[in-house]
Structure 1
């Protein structure tokens, strides 16, 4: 799954928070700040666990403020371990 969080999501602990939620779900991947102010989240694992992370990313419990969340599901490429803040 790749998701893009739009809003006040940089400089507020959003990537760290995302990493913690992803690790709790057993997902591999990363959360990365983009130059345009969004955060990109790439997560591999079961579709159910990716969906659970997506639900959390769109909740009111995130640091900062997520105004819009876009995403896409695709086949896992593999080769990822752990979950990084980039």
Structure 2
């Protein structure tokens, strides 16, 4: 389940960056509001899935509570899930 969580975290991070650096400029510079609707929906689904998986990993005690808080905070920051990936690789090693 941790491997699936890591994959979701990666794609959640990618979708966040696309939303911030592609869709938002398209909306506000080029007037293409549909870009934010489409990418925003995909990012929202991935973010909710990220949170559900994180909660389940914490419930199963596969991750420590402190690490879960760290993971959640990283999901809110651009490039944060990639920092999370590095930390999770160190946990696995």
Q: TM-score range by the shorter chain?
A: 0.3 to 0.5
Q: Greater helix percent: which structure?
A: 2
Greater share of strand residues, 1 or 2? 1
TM-score where L is the length of structure 2? 0.32
